[in-house]
Amino acid sequence: MAAATVVAAALPAAPADASVYLSSDAALHAVFPQAQSFEALPVLLPDAQRQEVEKLAGVQAGHGLLRAWVARAADGVVGHVFIDEVVGREDFITYAVGIDAGGKLRPVEILEYRESHGGEIRNKRWLAQFSGRSTPQELRFGTDIKNISGATLSSEHVTAGVRRILAIWQAMHAAAATPAAAGSPP
């Protein structure tokens, strides 16, 4: 049986100054406003695919729970949305990543930020750097995705997390395309 790709980490307690910007539902619609429905999708990868994801994604900070949905419109699948949690400096940053049906990233959305410093991570220009990229190799921190002064760890860890999500999507997509994967996620 497939092993779960992500196991929820021990969640740190949220500080009193945690800021919630979007609910999960609002994030789904922000990433794919044209979608008419969102279907929950289990993120399960066999060991070989999990190892490939780790190779493609590189070094990662701690992660919390990863959730995924298929975004559908009347004419079919428009993409996938992943909501992930990655450790910033000391606490989790919850963010959403959309990948369209062609495998290109949409702008990232920050749902919740729990750190006392580094809220600049929500800057729309910074988040837009992800849009249109389609391979983990296009997500090198400091080269492809610029640093945010004052939010270095947060921006580095979100970049690594997006790289991991794109690698997971590619592994799931490749598995669904093989004949032995009948019944696998789209």
Domain boundaries, the chain: 16-177
Express each pLDDT in 118-137 by its tens digit.
788 899 999 999 999 999 99
What does the alpha-carbon distance between residue 160 and residue 136 come to, in Å, rounded to a whole number?
Answer: 9
Rounded to the nearest angstrom, the gap between the alpha carbon of residue 110 and the centroid of all alpha carbons in its chain is 10
Q: Is the pLDDT of residue 164 over 60?
A: yes
The pTM of this model reads 0.83
Contact 109, 138 (CB under 8 A): no
pLDDT tens digits, 3-59: 434 433 334 444 446 788 999 999 999 999 999 999 999 998 889 999 999 999 987
CB 121 within 8 A of CB 113: yes
Contact 2, 44 (CB under 8 A): yes
